[in-house]
Amino acid sequence: MNTAMHVLPYLVAVYVFLTGCYGLATSRNLIHAVGCLAVCQSATYVLLLAVGYRDGATAPVFSDIEPGSRPVVDPVVQALTLTDIVVGATVTALLLALVLQIAKRHGTVDPDELRELRG
Amino acid sequence: MHHLLPLLVALPLLGAAVLVATGRHLPRIAAEITGFAVSGGTAALAVVLLLDSSPPMVEWVGGWLPVGGESVGILVVGDGPALGMATLVSLLTLAALAYSWRYFDQPPHGRTGTFTALMLVFQGGMCGFAIAGDLFNAFVFFELMSVTAYALTGYRIDEAKAVQGALTFGVVNSLGAYAMLMGIALLYARTGELAMTKIGRGLDSAAGQGGPDALVLASFVLVLTGLLVKAAAVPFHFWLPDAHAVAPTPVCMLLSGVMVELGAYGVWRVYGTVFAGPGGIPAADLTRALVTLGAVTAAVGAVMCWYQRHIKRLLAYSTVAHTGLFVIGLGILTPEGDDGVALYMLGHAGVKAALFACAGVLLDRFGSVDEHALHGRAGQLRATGVMFGIGALGLAGLPTFGTGLGKAITEEAVGGPLTVVFVAASAVTAGAVLRVTARVFLGLGPRPEDAEYETSGSDEEPETPGLLGRIPDTMTIVPAVLLAAALAVGSVPGFGELVARYVNETGSGGAHVSVHWTLHGAVLGVASTVLAAALAALAVTRPRWVAAPDWAAPLRRLQSGHVGDYVAWLLVGATVLGALALPGVLGG
Amino acid sequence: MNRLRLWLLAVGGAGLAALLVAACLDLPAFGGRWHPYGDRAVQASLDRHIANTIASVNFDQRAYDTLGEISILFAAVLGCVVLLREARDEHRAPPEPAEVARPVRRYALLVLPVALVTGLYVIAHGQLSPGGGFQGGVVAATALHLLYLGADYGALERVRPLGVYEASDSLAVCAYLVLGLAGVLAGTAFLANTLLPYGTFNTLSSGGTVPLLNAAVGMEVASAVVVLLAHFLDQAVEIEEEHGS
């Protein structure tokens, strides 16, 4: 593999994170904003899994391969990613619940039109 | 004894789970007593562990003791600062639960213990963060306390402001947490470890003679971004006034009293164990970054605090100003600074929680926390008024409050022109609170004029069933006890020395620091108080003289309530943090 | 104001991008062989007769993280219960029966038991094959919701007594904690996997307490997802604003 391939997966994570931030900052709809937050979080999955990858390796599950017969990817980052996914899903659910209530109380989900808190 | 450390997390969670499981069949009083007992039991455990924490304890959860220096388990630390924070969290939760005794009008139908259960989970999350010795585990508990805090902030769904503040809180804090996780992933890639001490050693050995590189800088910036969002340092602070002003009062007591401080504590812990070595960020760069951000935070917090009329929002900005001072004190990286900040945090937790408790009384008695609308109306609430005034003096750092002692020691450690920041920030925030006391409780001065760009505190829903005719005893006793505790932190002989010993045993290898009142510190404390009183008197009698000048208006406009602005500021903050710490990396 | 935000975004985004790209260039090359923690985790998993290393990391080596994780889920469910309750100006109306196209109905009812069994299978084989409590719990919980697609909301509500699911959500958290505390009572450590024999490698009963913790998590996730979805669906289907009050 050439040098570019050695950093490309990491750069993808950075790109995804910054894209999510851009979406969050310019969002005109809070549901979309919560989605953008999930995009930012996806960057952490990409980064974690990229960090744990090993060339030519398979999943660290030994029910059908002999231990030591093949390299396996780093199981720790996989477990961390699983935790991360659960955290992300629950945060998204909670934030969407709040958006739902904002829609009811303010009659809008456009952050530009929320004028209650300022100064 | 060290096996009991994880119980600081497990006990409150178990209590919460039991409360939810039985919630349909439990009378309200039983649910509240259970919450009280569980929270109190955890507090007792934290105190017992704290007294046993010299020498510091460590525990490998799951019994994964290191073999040949390597472990696959999670490390939990039981040293003075960690257990001290856990104790503070637990005691403050206990106070908040006592304050909210029969507080909300109606829990959700058929779910009696829900509020209590959420408070217990919040306690468990904060304790877990305080004792975390593993960076990913710290992230998990960071998220646990955040998620619970979002839900608690939005608890009053009938309030338009509450749900908006909670969402802003949720988006900004979650983004900070994900930034932190990106940083953790970078550190894992470099060192192959997750325990903080192991990461620190890994960075040192990876750097060799070379010093830190861009990866270390980036991970430092990302992890600190997450923690500083929690600590509400400028420019990561915008979420705090929006959230703290709208959360239910007992929740505000915890948010302002200890959760924000946990962010600053996290910075101290992570820098000390991960980035302090030769492969990390040089001390000079950390000091430059934290002192700059801290000073700006203190200044912005104080100015914004002064121009608020929404009383809870005013208190929220004073928390911003004081955390700025904490960040400065921790940033100078001396044992004296650490000790001073520890005492300052203890005193501040008591004073700030008491002030929020008093604001809650106003809310439930009058359905308003607006300084202008309440002008002269709260005269008959004598006890609350007196406590509000005493709280203001505590905020100013009057001897012999814990805030005063902590501030005096930190000022001495910081020295030089930064002393001015400490005196000014505490005087202005205390002056604002004294001004509210004079107007609302004493009815002094003319009724102030309304400004154009501001959040008023009128038309708030009370948190109790209807407006209260008579204030329940718990809502008076709790702030009184909190103020007495804040006073005791600074007055009980030997307490300061004790705190210093516990902090230094971990932070600075057992350096001995003499912690007591000095003439210099007492004079500065009195000076802050006098300045605060003068400012308040001026504001009440000559409102035009201290009305918002033109240069303050743009500052107020920055607090736009728009979550997109706050996210943009977060990115700018990360860049600034990187720029401030850059010289050390280039030099290496 | 909008202009200011764009400027801030440009400056902050550019600064952070530069920093992160520079950091990426310093990262170890993608696909490298050096993963010390990962190698230790694999060894520890094999020592305890657990075929799926990720399950070993989640429910044994770093089971304390998983405790935080299920607590987050538990807290989020509580939070949604609180945030999506009926506000003062709202009331509940029973949902109207819905017409469902027959092919959809048949397909949904056919797939429902299959999906449910798949979910339970994925939970049960957590320590043997990819999957486990989290993944299987979500599959099992969503399987139930095929009733909503195949029949109507009323049918779903009949098989979904919320009180039971809320109780089982919290009881599962209790079970996880009690299993953890058993280690402390036994004198080892919180969440120590030393109480039960490790069994035969690659069988359902292998791994000591791992299958039990995994089952508790499966139960928690399945119940929590059901309760979460129920509250969102209630908002869409049942809860209405009061009119003319």
What pLDDT does residue C244 have?
Answer: 43
Q: Which of residues B106 and B71 earns the better pLDDT score?
A: B71
Instruction: Determine contact: C170 vs chain B, CB below 8 A.
Output: yes
Q: How far is CA B549 from the centre of its chain?
A: 30
Query: Is B29 part of any domain?
Result: yes
CB contact under 8 Å between A102 and B168, yes or no, is no
CB contact under 8 Å between B178 and A114, yes or no, is no
Query: Is C32 part of any domain?
Result: no
Q: What would the two tokens of residue A28 be? A: 């005109």
**Residues B278-298, buried b or exposed e (16+ Cβ, 10 A)?**
ebbbbeebbbbbbbbbbbbbb
What pLDDT does residue B103 have?
Answer: 66
Instruction: Determine contact: C166 vs chain B, CB below 8 A.
Output: yes
Query: Is B253 part of any domain?
Result: no
Chain A, nearest residue to C202 by Cα: A63
- Neighbors of chain A with 3 or more C-beta pairs under 8 Å: B, C
CB contact under 8 Å between A82 and C17, yes or no, is no
Instruction: Determine contact: B15 vs chain C, CB below 8 A.
Output: no
CB contact under 8 Å between C1 and B74, yes or no, is no
ipTM above 0.95, yes or no: yes
What pLDDT does residue B187 have?
Answer: 97
CB contact under 8 Å between C75 and B148, yes or no, is yes
CA dist., res. B123 & res. C154, Å (int): 38
Q: Which residues of B touch C190 (CB under 8 A)?
A: 3, 5-7, 10, 59, 61-62
The three state secondary structure string of B231-283 is HCCCCCCCHHHHHHCCCCHHHHHHHHHHHHHHHHHHHHHHHHHHHCCCCCCCH
Instruction: Determine contact: A32 vs chain B, CB below 8 A.
Output: no
Residue B254: CB atoms within 10 A of its CB come to 28
- Give me the number of domains chain B comprises: 1
**Alpha carbon distances (Å) from B132 to B9, B73, B265:** 11, 12, 12
Give the CA count within 13 Å in the CB-facing half-sphere of C224: 36
CB contact under 8 Å between A25 and B571, yes or no, is yes
Query: Is C22 part of any domain?
Result: no
Burial of B10 (0-12, 13-18, 19+ CB in 10 A): buried
pLDDT digits (tens, 9 = 90+) for B457-480: 777 777 777 777 788 888 999 999
Q: Which residues of C touch A87 (CB under 8 A)?
A: 69, 72
CA dist., res. C185 & res. A22, Å (int): 51
At residue C151 the predicted structure's pLDDT band, cuts being 50, 70 and 90, is confident
What pLDDT does residue B105 have?
Answer: 58
Q: What would the two tokens of residue B61 be? A: 């959860």
Of B117, B144, B214, the CB nearest to C72: B144
Query: Is C118 part of any domain?
Result: yes
Q: For residue C166, what are the domain limits?
A: 50-241
- Give me the number of domains chain C comprises: 1
Query: Is C30 part of any domain?
Result: no
pLDDT digits (tens, 9 = 90+) for C84-117: 988 878 888 888 887 889 999 999 989 999 999 9
CB contact under 8 Å between C83 and A21, yes or no, is no
Query: Is B52 part of any domain?
Result: yes
Average pLDDT over residues B168-172: 97
Least confident of B25-29, B189-193, B533-537, C200-204: B25-29
Single pTM value for the model: 0.96
Look at residue B107 and tell me whether its pLDDT is greater than 70: no
Query: Is B465 part of any domain?
Result: no
pLDDT digits (tens, 9 = 90+) for C196-217: 999 989 888 889 999 999 999 9
Query: Is B27 part of any domain?
Result: yes
Q: For residue B13, what are the domain limits?
A: 1-131
Q: Which residues of C touch B572 (CB under 8 A)?
A: 8, 11-12, 15
Least confident of B364-373, B405-414, B538-547, C223-232: B538-547
Of all residues in chain B, the percent with pLDDT exceeding 90 is: 78
Of B157, B189, B194, the CB nearest to C27: B189
pLDDT digits (tens, 9 = 90+) for B113-157: 889 999 999 999 999 999 999 999 999 999 999 999 999 999 988
CA dist., res. B422 & res. B297, Å (int): 11
Query: Is B588 part of any domain?
Result: no
pLDDT digits (tens, 9 = 90+) for B209-265: 888 999 999 999 999 999 999 999 999 999 999 999 899 999 999 999 999 999 999
Strand pairing partners for A66?
none
Residues in CB range of A48: below 8 A, 6 or more apart:
A77, A80, A81, A84, B181, B185, B188
What pLDDT does residue C245 have?
Answer: 38
Of C21, C25, C80, the CB nearest to A97: C80
Pick the CATH number of A3-113 from 1.10.287.3510, 3.40.190.10, 1.10.3720.10, 3.40.50.720: 1.10.287.3510
Instruction: Determine contact: C209 vs chain B, CB below 8 A.
Output: no
Instruction: Determine contact: B176 vs chain A, CB below 8 A.
Output: no
What pLDDT does residue B260 have?
Answer: 96
Is the N-terminal amide bond of B529 cis, ω within 30° of 0? Answer: no
Instruction: Determine contact: B155 vs chain C, CB below 8 A.
Output: yes
Least confident of B416-430, B450-464, C155-169: B450-464
CA dist., res. B337 & res. B493, Å (int): 20
